[in-house]
């Protein structure tokens, strides 16, 4: 039995849920604090691509309530040059948008990556610098991971971060990731990230570049 099953893109799109009730984009005035010298697993999760050399990040995070909003701002705002918010018609912040990681933050993340001091689940997602540009949609294939063929693992140090992510993405019911250095082979079934997420999600969808077998996307379909 194969550890993945190919699915069509229409099946994948069925998991897309339109949760937008807001369109007002505003800049947020954030105190330019010094970059913290440590990164929580939650912070690492969103800054992870900088460890692979991606600095011009655009990070969009849904915030369902004020408590989550303040937590996300506290954790991430010090590391970005620009912070924006999408507000609802009632003036409530629905989504936080972070642009352009600060150089000092990127350097610290790259040092953690080099010394293998990132959270194991996150370190596994960003194995290397991206070797290929993202292909057009028609140049990709989608696969659903078969949970019966994956040996799950526990990562207690990441559990609290996962609980926070579930709160952030409760309405969307999907988290989209872009791993670096992932190649579609049978060896990938041993990925720490896949083995952790497999018991946390309803489904894991891998998006593969047809031409070079690189994994260019992971969709985590939530319960």
Question: pLDDT tens across 47-66, in order?
Answer: 998 887 787 889 999 999 99
pLDDT on residue 21: 56
- Token representation of residue 52: 């692979």
Q: Calculate mean pLDDT across residues 96-115.
A: 92
CA–CA gap between residue 70 and residue 175 (Å, rounded): 20
Q: pLDDT per residue over 116-171, tens digit each?
A: 899 999 999 987 655 545 555 568 999 999 999 999 999 999 999 999 999 999 99
Q: pLDDT per residue over 6-26, tens digit each?
A: 999 776 666 555 555 556 789
pLDDT on residue 64: 95
Q: Is the pLDDT of residue 32 over 60?
A: yes
pLDDT on residue 71: 96
């Amino acid at each position: 039995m194969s550890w993945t099953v190919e699915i069509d893109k229409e099946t994948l799109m069925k998991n897309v849920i339109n949760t937008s009730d807001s369109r007002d984009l505003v800049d947020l005035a954030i105190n330019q604090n010094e970059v913290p010298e440590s990164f929580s697993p939650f912070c690492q999760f969103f800054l992870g691509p900088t460890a692979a050399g991606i600095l011009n990040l655009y990070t969009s995070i849904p915030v369902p309530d004020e408590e989550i909003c303040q937590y996300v701002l506290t954790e991430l705002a010090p590391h970005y040059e620009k912070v924006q918010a999408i507000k609802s018609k009632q003036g409530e912040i629905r989504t936080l948008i972070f642009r352009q990681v600060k150089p000092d933050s990127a350097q610290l993340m790259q040092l953690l990556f080099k010394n293998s001091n990132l959270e194991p689940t996150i370190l596994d997602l960003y194995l290397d610098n991206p070797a290929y540009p993202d292909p057009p949609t028609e140049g990709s294939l989608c696969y659903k991971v078969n949970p019966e063929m994956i040996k799950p693992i526990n990562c207690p140090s990441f559990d609290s971060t996962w609980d926070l992510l579930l709160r952030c993405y409760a309405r969307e019911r999907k988290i989209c990731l872009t791993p670096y250095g992932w190649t579609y082979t049978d060896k990938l079934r041993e990925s720490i990230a896949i083995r952790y997420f497999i018991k946390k999600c309803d489904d894991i969808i891998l998006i593969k570049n047809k031409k070079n077998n690189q994994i260019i996307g992971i969709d985590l379909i939530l319960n």
